[in-house]
Structure formats: C-alpha cells, structure tokens
Structure 1
Amino acid sequence: MSGAADRMKMFALAFVGVTAIAALVFAASPVHALEIKRMTLSNGAVLLVSEEHRLPMVTMMIEFDAGTRRDPKGKEGLAALTAECLSQGTKELTAPEFDQKVDFMGSSVGVSAGRDYSTAGMTTLKKYQGDTLKLLAGILTDPGLRQADIERKRAEQVAEIKAAEEQPGYAADVEFIKDLFGDSPYGHPGEGSPESAGKLSADDVRGFYRDNYKLGSAIIAVAGDVTADEVKISLEKELAGLSGSVAPQAEPPPIKVAPGLHVKLIDRNVVQANIIMGSGGVARSNPDFYRLKVMNYILGGGGFSSRLVKIVRSQHGLAYSVDSGFEPGKYQGAFTISLQTKNQSSNQAIDLILQQLREIQEKPVSDAELDGAKKFLIGSFPLGLERQSAIASFMVQVEFYGLGLDYAEQYPKLIGSVTKDEVLAVAKKYLHPDSMIVVAAANQSEAKIKTPQMEKAADAASAQ
C-alpha cells in the first residue's frame, strides 16, 4: 500500500482517535460555539464550512452514499475495494505518479469506505489547497480504475481478511453480526469474506463507482483556513463532472432476537476466550439516544467507572477488558458486550454480565453514577472538536444524521437533562438479558460454555 494511502487511512480515523483521547479526561471547558455555514452546490451537494484561520491548513471530507451497506448480495467487500481503488490515481496519473505529487506537498488524499457512507478527503497546507483539491477531484471525476490496480488491491484485501480471520476476536465479531443482522445491509464485515472479495471484478468496481459516487447525494465538509465563498467557487469548478443522486435504500426490518440465549461456539486453540454477546440496538435517529448514552456509560461504556469493569474485572478478576456499547447508524445497529477472559472462567463471566444487565433494569442508578456519567460525557465532548479533521467529520455526521447545525451547543443540554428514571426506563426497554446472541471463540474443551443463566433463559424460552 502506498504512503499516501496509509496516511489517508489514518486521516479517516482521526475523529475516532480524538474521541479516544477525550475518554481519558474527566473535565473540560464548555463547548465553544462552532460556527457552521451551510450551502448547496449547483449539483445538489450540501456544503458545510467551518472557518478557522489560526493555522494555515485545510481539511475536506466528502461523504458519498457508497458505504458497505450498499454492497450487493454475494459481492460483499465491493464498497471497500472500490474506495481503495479510487485512491490509485487518475486516467492521466498512475498510482505512483499520483502519490508522488501528494507526497511532494505533504498532503493526504484518498478514499475510505465506512458502514453508512464512504469518505473522500484531503488535508493540506493552505498554500497547496488548490493543487491538492485538483488531485482529489481527479480521482473522483476521472479515476484510473486500471485492471492491474484493481487486481492488486483485491489481492491485498483478501490477504488482509485471511489474516484477520486468524484472530479469535475478529472471528467472533463476524459471526455475531451475521447472526444478528442476517441478510440486512449491516449483516457482513465491510471488507467482505475471502470468497466474496476474491470474486470481485474490475467491472464490479467500475459499476459501483458509477452508481454510487454521485454528488447530488453527497455532503462536503471543509474546516480550516478558508472562506465559505472561496470553497464554494472552487468546488463548483473542480467537481463539475459529478452529478446525479443515488436512489434511497430500503430500510431493513427491525431486529428480533428470539427468547433465549443463542450460543455460537468457535473452537480455537487459545488461552483466552473472546466473547461477544448482544442484541438489537437503535438507529442514530432514535430519540432515546442520549438516555442510552448515559445508561451505557454506567453499565459498561465508562471504563474503570462502569459496573461491568468494577464487577467482572476489579472484584472478580475474570477479565482484563470488558465493555458494552450501542452502535447506532442510519439503520438500527447492535448492542454488544465484549470481553476476554480465561477459557475456564467463561461461564462465570457471562453469568456476572447477565446479572448486571438485570440489576440495572431493576432499580435506579445512584446519584453518584448519574452525576459522574453526565460530567464525563459533557466534559469530554469539546475535546472531540479540537482538530480540523475532527470538525470536518463532526459536520458530516451532523448533516448525515440530521442533528442540526447547533448540535455542539445542544449536546450538553441533551445529556444534562437525563434523569435516573429515564436511565431505568431505557435499560428496561433496550436491554434483553433473556434474548441475546452469544458468540465465543475459545478453547471449547476448556471453556465448556453452558451456564445456569443460560439454562434458565432456555427454560423460560421453552415455556413461552
């Protein structure tokens, strides 16, 4: 993989990295007002600009309705492969020539595929803004998509999947999403399987690009040393070749996990069992999102202050890491609990987790737990908006999920208004300790996974 492509992957993950750093801090100054200017280009794309002139740098992200949820049946991994191939130069510039121009300016340019959308983007010094934008526009409006490049990137993708499949945690995750989501758009790993990705052709890639990289459905976010008018003029010129819109995708039916604990065992010669358990979650548009965020922080999303870490790790010493989380998206996502534990302690750890799920449903959380969760979630939020890449990613998400341009100011109020009764209510509504999928990649001869809680759940299910 080229140096420019490597840097682009790091660039695409910048928002996640900033959020992870924020998780280490328990207090911060109040969110400063984030001024966002919103416009619409002549081709239908929504343009969001945050002017910040302290540093002579510019970051741009373009969201296309080309995420992995758009993968055709039997061609899982196509969105990811197409994104990688778009970064391999234009019809005039080969991949090495393209990378050389990007490297000379110290810029980052590339495309990456996420679950809900794909992102084309760039970071550059202000003085190279025009030249870098031309390169970005080139791979979007006139990509090379050469047969040799596509075959090379396909081989890399298959090799990466095969290497990942050797990891027990990855194997458990793949099995879990397949069992939970089935044939829905979220029901496969974004990179696909070795079989599906290995069959992808150059025509598949070119067709996916043609059908999904349309600016009429796109969101463009720009942060840095720019003016909104300047950006609009340059984008109208450089991206004039992309037009049209992507047809809406049918929303999948609600996730339903039948009563009982549905256990899938993957036998691996490992010392530690990798366990993932969960059920259906929520879409990002769910009005309970903020109540769930507070509840989950207390349950298992708050690191060492969460109940799962305190009980499973600190009190019983059964796991080095254990956490819970909702993964909301355009459509209903998953609620998951993940842990690593010794094979022999798998049953006990699962029992303790199920016990904690029931306890948070049975009585209100304490004042101290609620106060700590809200302080952290509000206090750490501004740290996610310290960098240009984070601001650009934030603006894309605000527009994509319809959160409102004043979301940065509204978020503290939304979290701060959550009550103990609301936490209890969402725990009862969205946690399902008696209807869960449990996937364990472990040395099954040592783990012998079958717990009293599972037997109870199975009895309850059979009685219904």
Structure 2
Amino acid sequence: MIRAALLIAALVCDGVLSGASHAAEIKPTRVVTENGMTVLIVDQPFLPIVTVNVLVKAGAVYDPDAKAGLSNMVAEMLDEGTKTRSATQIAEQIEFLGGELAAEGGEDSATARLRILRKDADIGFTLLADILMHPKFDPKEVARVRDELVGSLQSEKDEPSIIATKAFNELVFKGHPYRRPANGDEKTVTKLSRQDLVEFHDKFYRPNRAIMAIVGDLREAEALALVKKHFGGWTPQELPLPAFPAPEPLPKPTLKLIDKDLTQATLVLGHVGIDRRNPDFYAVAVMNYILGGGGFSSRLVRRIRDEQGLAYDVGSVFEANVMPGSFAVHVQTRNAAANQVLASVFQELKRIRTEPVGDQELADAKAYLIGSFPLRLDTTAKLASLLNLVELHGLGLSYFDEYPKAIAAVTKEDVLRVAQKYLNPDHYALVVVAKLAEAKIDANVVSTTK
C-alpha cells in the first residue's frame, strides 16, 4: 500500500499523462464566457490531477519605455498577497494541498499556473482567481520583490550570453518593443512604484484578454461550473491597443563588438524572423532543424563542433512570436577561433540558401519534429501551455492533427525556398562579446555573408 501510494504521488507530481495523450487524441473544447474569457478544456482522466493555465495578454510589449519590466513585476507580484490573503497564507495553503501556484511574465503575455488534485479543484480555483483578480501589491512586498528583481538584473551583467542577446535585440528590433528584455533593466525597474503596478493590472488583467486552459481529471461541465463560480465576476473592459510598428530589417550588415576580459567569445548572428501565424512556419522549422536547431544532427553542430572542434555550444533558432521574432545563430568559442567560427557559420548559411538539402537530412528532420511532438503534450502542464499558445496565435483546435501533417508535407523545394526568403544576407546583425584583442574580429567580416 505504501509503495503504491508513493508511486501515485510521484505520478501526480509529474502530471504525466498516459499513452492516450497522442496528438491525434487531443480534442479540446473551446468556450467563450459571458465576460469574454476564452476557455479551452481537455478532459484527461488518467490521473486525479488538474492543471489550469491562465494566459493574459499583458506582456512586456505593453510596457512604456521608461517602465520596462513593469509587466514582469506585476506577474511576479500576483502570488505575493491578495486583498484577503497574505503571501504566506497563499503559500501555506497551496503547499498543504500538495499543489502549485505561480505566475510569470513574458514578451507578449503573462501566465498564472495552477496544479492541484481533483478533489481540491474548488479551492485551487479560488486561489487562482484571487491572485489574478485581487492582488494587493502590499508596499512591503513590492519593495522586496523589486529589490530581488534588481539584484537579478545586476547579476546578468556578468553573463556573456545575456549581454550578447540584449545587444542583438537592440540592433534587430530598433524602435520595436521586442528590443527590450521582458524583465526590464536596472534603471527602469528601480523606479517602478506600487501605483504603476496597480494601474497596469487594472488596465490589462481583464477576462476578455485572458485564455484559460484546463487539462486533467475534470469533465467539461465541472470545469465550466468552476470557471463560472470563480471567474464569472471578473469585469471585462475594452482596451484600445497600441499599433506596434513592424520590425524593420537592418539597412545593411551591422557589427557590434563588446570588449570583456573573457577566455570565450560569445557570438550572436541574425535578423528579424517570422511570426507564428506565418504559413511558412513549418517549412522554416524543418529548415532550421537541419541548419542549427537539430542538436548533434544539425549542420552547424556537425561542422563547428564535431569536425572542427571549435565550439561546444552552437545552434540556431527562429523565435516565432505574436509579431515577427528573430532568427539567430548562437555560438561560444575560444577568442582566437572567433573568425574561423564565423566563416563556417556564413558558409553554412550560404549552403542552405543555394543547395537543396539531402534526402536523408530532410527525412531525419521531419521524423524528429513529428516524433517529438507528442512529448510536448505528455504532461498536463505541457498540454495546458501549448493550448494557451494555440489560442493566442489563432492556430485553431485542429492544430494537434494538423501539425504532424504540415511537417510531413515539407519538401526539399520548400526548405530551399524559405531559406532564400527568410535568411537574408543583406540584413544581418552580428554581436561579439569577447576579449577583442585576442578575438581580432575583422570589421568587414559581416560582408562575407553574401
């Protein structure tokens, strides 16, 4: 009995779904409540656990420049006390129930997450609704959290990858909100006030800006009853949203050198990419897997790490957000090897833009992307997070059926076409964080992308 109880507890803690969680069997129900909140429900009765994610369109893109980090701090403060419960009371109650309750900010949105046993779903919904609708923003807690955030930002000053990424985003997203880190910077976060938090929360945390995903051992009727009971009083409010300018491509290849007394050079090379709703997303995913997103099987890793032995950390990524994100190649190498690594990166970018990929490369990329897709759905937490994003990006409830089919349909011609379309040698930004006297970066090196 004890062994069985421990096994059940372990499974519940992981929120693992059974084999029935295959993508084709995910059939979400979508309901829009009277107050405008979108609710997505997937009944998974395999374990007595329920995960609820509430995504709110209240991300860093809505921060004023002078208050960068505001949205992130609001999210961080949600579980730090409400008008009826202190932070300690919330933490003790959720811990007593063996659940989890947390919130976090992001670029486009913020998310509050609840994981609770089925038998405690009602109290779980009570706590989730309370932190979303009635945060207190107690002055003492505000000061404490602000100090913690500033301390975290100060520690980032010594992280080469963070330094390089920040500089890269400032170049690629000039004049666009994506240029700012979601957690802001030391100067702006230090000045954030309780009133700033209250006003942002009141403005953006509304049900008509929220997407709730409920996954686990709750029938549809039970889930909707809990939503109505705990969130029915959440007042909607229409909000005129700012019109964000589209990220403009750089007029020419741009190089930024940052001198640090380091033994390793950190390189970030790239430009504006695509948004998630772009119909070429699936072909781009396959192309990027072959180029640098496929771990040990990717071209960049095979060449720069395996064949040349010049880098341990190398890869590429397309960040497809609500608005066009970035394409970036990230590499860490010895200072003295920086130019050789860059030459190899440029050669691989040119090759994938000018030569069709091999049959086996294409087959391997598609097999991995299709085969790994169920792993993105194998816990209630993962599935709830993906449901939030599917709704946020307007991908439709058939997404779970369509994703494998869309990947399978990608051809060599598609890969070549999107490489030529979305890898642009005229608009790269290159950031190098290194001991420049050793790296000796040629200021004209970016021109070799052509």
Output the CA distance in 1 between the equivalents of 2:22 and 2:55: 29
Contact 1:217/1:246 (8 A) holds in 2: no
User: Do structure 1's residue 159 and structure 2's residue 182 form an aligned pair?
Assistant: no
User: Do structure 1's residue 207 and structure 2's residue 199 form an aligned pair?
Assistant: yes
Contact 2:430/2:446 (8 A) holds in 1: no
Output the CA distance in 2 between the equivalents of 1:455 and 1:135: 56
User: Do structure 1's residue 145 and structure 2's residue 137 form an aligned pair?
Assistant: yes
Q: Which residue of 1 aligns with 2:64?
A: 72
Contact 1:29/1:379 (8 A) holds in 2: no
| 3-state SS, counterpart of residue 435 of structure 1 | coil
Output the CA distance in 2 between the equivalents of 1:382 and 1:159: 38
Contact 1:354/1:453 (8 A) holds in 2: no
Contact 1:161/1:194 (8 A) holds in 2: yes
Q: Which residue of 1 aligns with 2:257?
A: 265
Contact 1:263/1:439 (8 A) holds in 2: yes
Output the CA distance in 1 between the equivalents of 2:240 and 2:30: 23
Q: 1:276 Cα shift?
A: 0.7
Output the CA distance in 2 between the equivalents of 1:113 and 1:442: 31
2:250 alignment partner AA:
V
2:411 alignment partner AA:
T
Q: Which residue of 2 aligns with 1:189?
A: 181
Q: 1:29 Cα shift?
A: 10
Q: 1:163 Cα shift?
A: 0.3
- 1:435-446 alignment to 2 at 5 Å? 435-446=427-438
Structure 1 alignment gaps of length 5 or more: 1-13, 19-27
Q: Which residue of 2 aligns with 1:22?
A: none
Q: 1:452 Cα shift?
A: 6.4
Q: Which residue of 1 aligns with 2:24?
A: 32
| 3-state SS, counterpart of residue 229 of structure 2 | helix
| 3-state SS, counterpart of residue 74 of structure 1 | helix
Q: Which residue of 2 aligns with 1:171?
A: 163
Q: 1:325 Cα shift?
A: 0.9
| 3-state SS, counterpart of residue 397 of structure 2 | coil
Q: 1:94 Cα shift?
A: 1.3
Contact 2:81/2:136 (8 A) holds in 1: yes
Output the CA distance in 1 between the equivalents of 2:277 and 2:123: 38
Q: 1:255 Cα shift?
A: 2.4
| 3-state SS, counterpart of residue 32 of structure 1 | helix
User: Do structure 1's residue 253 and structure 2's residue 246 form an aligned pair?
Assistant: yes
Match of 1:60 among 28, 52, 64: 52
Q: 1:372 Cα shift?
A: 0.6
RMSD (Å), alpha carbons: 1.8
| 3-state SS, counterpart of residue 218 of structure 2 | coil
Scaled by the length of structure 2, the TM-score of the pair is 0.93
2:204 alignment partner AA:
N
Output the CA distance in 2 between the equivalents of 1:39 and 1:241: 17
2:288 alignment partner AA:
N
The share of aligned pairs that are identical, in percent, is: 38
Match of 2:394 among 402, 407, 414: 402
Output the CA distance in 2 between the equivalents of 1:259 and 1:72: 29
Single out whichever of 110-119 and 218-227 deviates more from structure 2: 110-119
Check 1:433–1:455 CA distance in 2 against 1; reply closer, same or farther (3 A cut). closer
Match of 2:315 among 305, 323, 332: 323
Output the CA distance in 2 between the equivalents of 1:321 and 1:450: 22
Output the CA distance in 2 between the equivalents of 1:427 and 1:33: 33
Single out whichever of 178-187 and 368-377 deviates more from structure 2: 178-187
Output the CA distance in 2 between the equivalents of 1:311 and 1:432: 21
Deviations 1:88-124 (A, max 9, x none): 1211211112211111111111221111111112000
Structure 2 alignment gaps of length 5 or more: 1-13
Match of 1:298 among 290, 293, 298: 290
Check 1:452–1:352 CA distance in 2 against 1; reply closer, same or farther (3 A cut). farther
Q: 1:447 Cα shift?
A: 0.6
Single out whichever of 178-187 and 370-379 deviates more from structure 2: 178-187
Deviations 1:310-331 (A, max 9, x none): 1111111111111001001000
| 3-state SS, counterpart of residue 257 of structure 2 | strand
Q: Which residue of 1 aligns with 2:223?
A: 231
Q: 1:240 Cα shift?
A: 2.9
Contact 2:255/2:443 (8 A) holds in 1: no
Contact 1:216/1:246 (8 A) holds in 2: no
Deviations 1:135-182 (A, max 9, x none): 111112221211111111111001001101211111111111111112
Q: Which residue of 2 aligns with 1:83?
A: 75
| 3-state SS, counterpart of residue 177 of structure 2 | coil
Output the CA distance in 2 between the equivalents of 1:256 and 1:238: 46
2:46 alignment partner AA:
R
Q: 1:76 Cα shift?
A: 0.4
Runs of 4+ in 1 over 6 A off after TM superposition: none
Contact 2:21/2:378 (8 A) holds in 1: no
Output the CA distance in 1 between the equivalents of 2:107 and 2:446: 32
Contact 1:282/1:332 (8 A) holds in 2: yes
Output the CA distance in 1 between the equivalents of 2:93 and 2:381: 21
Output the CA distance in 1 between the equivalents of 2:172 and 2:38: 34
Single out whichever of 179-188 and 335-344 deviates more from structure 2: 179-188
Match of 1:95 among 84, 87, 107: 87
Q: 1:408 Cα shift?
A: 0.8
User: Do structure 1's residue 135 and structure 2's residue 123 form an aligned pair?
Assistant: no
Q: Which residue of 1 aligns with 2:4?
A: none
Q: 1:350 Cα shift?
A: 0.5
User: Do structure 1's residue 287 and structure 2's residue 274 form an aligned pair?
Assistant: no
Check 1:447–1:189 CA distance in 2 against 1; reply closer, same or farther (3 A cut). same
Output the CA distance in 2 between the equivalents of 1:29 and 1:128: 23
Q: Which residue of 1 aligns with 2:412?
A: 420
